Structure 1
C-alpha cells in the first residue's frame, strides 16, 4: 500500500532489542484510510517481519472456533514491511483497570477470563522437540501432568494487546512474540496478571476503602497490590511458587529479546512476602527524591545559563549603542563631510 499522499502520523522504534527483532511501527494516513505499518529496521530483522505474516495465519486458524475474539486484519504484506488495519479506542487493560477502580470486580473478572479462555482454547501438549528458548521456559515449570501448554506459543497475551470493539468483541492487535512450540500456560497467565497489576501499585492504593481489602505481594522486584476478589480467584498464578517461576521465565524471555540468548542461568532477586492490607498507602519509588533533586539542579543550571546569556546580550547591546554613537559623531564631523565632498568631486572628474 503506497501512494504519494501518505502521511506519517506517528512513528515508534523498537530498537532496544537484538538486531534481528528491531522494527519500526508507524501509524500512516493514506487519503481517507489509516493503517499501522510495521517495517524492518535493517536486513537483520526482515525475518522477524516475515514471521508476523506466518504467525498471523497460524493464530487466525487456531482461534477461528472462538467467536469471542478476532485477529487484527492484514491489509498488505511485503518482504520488509506489513500493514495492519488501524483500530482506535480503549485497550482491554485500561478497561479492566477502570472496572477495578470502581470495585466492579465481576465485570473485570469476566474480561480477564475471556483472555484466559483464549489461552485454554489453544491448549496443547508439550512438544518433544523444542527450541532452546522454549525448553528453558518450560523446564522451569517441570514435567507435572497438571501442566498445560499454549500452541502456538503466544507469549504476549497481556490485556493491553487487545481492544474491545463496539460489539464487545475482543480484537487481538499485537501477537509479535509468538514462539513455534507450545509454552507453559502457567507462565502466560501469571504474566497477564503481573503486567496488569505490578505497575499500578499507587493507583490501586488510592482506591476508596471497601469491604474487600487487598493482598500485598512483594516479589523482591515489585510491590503488587491485588484486590482480594482477584487474589482469591487467581491465587494459583500469584502464589509464591508461581511468581518465582514467572520471574525466572520472564528473565529468560527478556534475555532472548534483547540479546538473542536463551540462557537459563539468569539470576534474579527474589524475596517473596505476602500480607493482608485494608488501607494501603501510596509508596513512591526510592528514586523519586533523587530524580526531583536532579530536576531542581538542572532547572537551576538552566536558569543560570539564561541569566548569563541575557547579561551577554545586554552587554552587546550596550557596545552596539556605543559604536552607533561613535559612527554618528564621525558622520557629523567637519572632516567626514569634507571627505565626502571630495569623493563626490573625484567621482565626477575621474569616473570609473
Structure 2
C-alpha cells in the first residue's frame, strides 16, 4: 500500500495556481513526487510543466537535466531525486571560505541560464513583462519560455549532474537572464543571513544597499547582480500581486526567502509569515523564561553548595562527628 510521507499546498494562491505536492512511498518501494491540481482552473498550470518537459528534456546543457515526469489522469508524477542540493553545496563552500568552489557552483548555474533558449522581446511581450515583474529588468532579449524557478534549492547534484526538480513556473514570455541571475543570488543570500552572521568571525562579509550581509566572494565576483537586490525585491513584489489571491503589502521591507508565489507570506492579516513570527515570538519568550529559571536554579544550587550544612553532609560520618564535637 502506498503511503504519503509529506504533503504541502498553498491555499493563498489564486485558483488558477492552486496545486498540491505529495511525496509518496509507492507500492514498489520507490519514492515519487505527485503534483495535483486543486481545481479545474489549475490544470493548465500543471499542463505547462509537462509541456516544458516534453519540449526541452534532453536538450539542455550536458550536465543538466529536467526531473523525469509522467502525466496521469490525476496530475503529474515526478521521480524522487537523491543527491545534494546545489543550495547546500554553495553554503558549505561559502562558510568554508572556498572561493574557487563558490565560483565553480555559481558560474555553473549562470552558464546554464545563459544556455537556455532565448528570443527578442517584442512590444506586446514587453508590456506583459512589466505587468508581471515591473520594468526594472526589461531588456531586448530573454530566456524563452521564461523559466523562473531556477533557485539553487531546486537543483539536486549527483555525480556532477544537475537535476532541476521543480520547474513549475514557466512564463509564456521571455525573461531576461539578468533577472534570473540576480534572483538566484538574492534568495541564497537572504535565506542564510543568520549563518553569515554566526560565522562572521570566519568569513568576510559586507552589507548590501538593503542591509543584507553579503559574502565578499559575491561582492567581488558578482557585483553587478548584488547591486540589483533592491530592484529584484520590487520585481518579486509585482509578481506576487499576479500570483496571490490576497493583496500584497506594499510596506517597504524585504521579501522572505521562498519560491515564486510567496506574496501571501507578506500579507499581515492572512500571511503565513505573520503566523510564523507570532510562533517565533512565543518560542523566544519560552526560551527566555527557561533561561531565567535555569539561572535561578544555578544561584540556588550555588548557595546550597557553599553552605556549611551541605559541606558537612558531604563529609564522612566520622569527620562530621569530630567537627560537631561528638
TM-score tier, shorter chain, comes to: 0.7 to 0.9
The answer on whether the counterparts of 1:105 and 1:230 sit within 8 Å (CA) in structure 2 is no
**Counterpart for residue 26 of structure 2:** 30
Alpha carbon RMSD of aligned pairs, Å? 3.0
Change (3 A) 1:290 1:23: closer
Matched with 1:105 is 99
**1:163 is aligned to 2:156:** yes
Asked whether the equivalents of residues 35 and 85 of structure 1 are also in contact (C-alpha less than 8 Å), the reply is yes
2:239 is matched with 253
Q: State the TM-score, normalizing by the size of structure 2.
A: 0.72
Counterparts in 2 of 1:268 and 1:124: CA distance versus 1, 3 Å: farther
Q: Tell which structure's C-alpha radius of gyration is larger.
A: 1
Partners in 2 of 1:79 and 1:122 — Cα distance? 30
| CA deviation string 1:126-178 (max 9, x = no partner) | 321328652433632345xxx6421221112000000001x111000101011
Query: Does residue 68 of structure 1 match 2:63?
Result: yes
Tell me how far apart the structure 1 counterparts of residues 112 and 238 of structure 2 sit (CA, whole Å).
24
Q: Which residue, out of 42, 45, 69, partners 1:45?
A: 42
Q: Secondary structure at the match of 1:36?
A: strand
Partner of 1:291: 281
Q: How many residues align?
A: 264
1:226 is paired with a residue whose SS is: strand
Mapped to 2, the partners of 1:183 and 1:198 lie a distance apart of: 22
Which residue number in structure 2 is paired with residue 192 of structure 1?
184
Q: Which runs of 5+ in 2 are unaligned?
A: 255-276, 291-326
**Cα distance, 1:270 vs structure 2:** 7.0
Q: Name which of structure 1's ranges 11-20 and 124-133 shifts more when overlaid on structure 2.
A: 124-133
Q: Within 1, Cα distance between the matches of 2:199 and 2:52? A: 40
Moved >3 Å (runs of 4+): 287-290, 292-297
| Whole-Å separation in 2 of the counterparts to 1:96 and 1:133 | 34
Distance apart, 1:77 and its partner CA: 0.5
| Counterpart contact for 1:247–1:268, Cα < 8 Å | no
Query: Retained in 1: the 8 A contact 2:64–2:161?
Result: yes
Unmatched 5+ stretches in structure 1: 272-286, 301-352
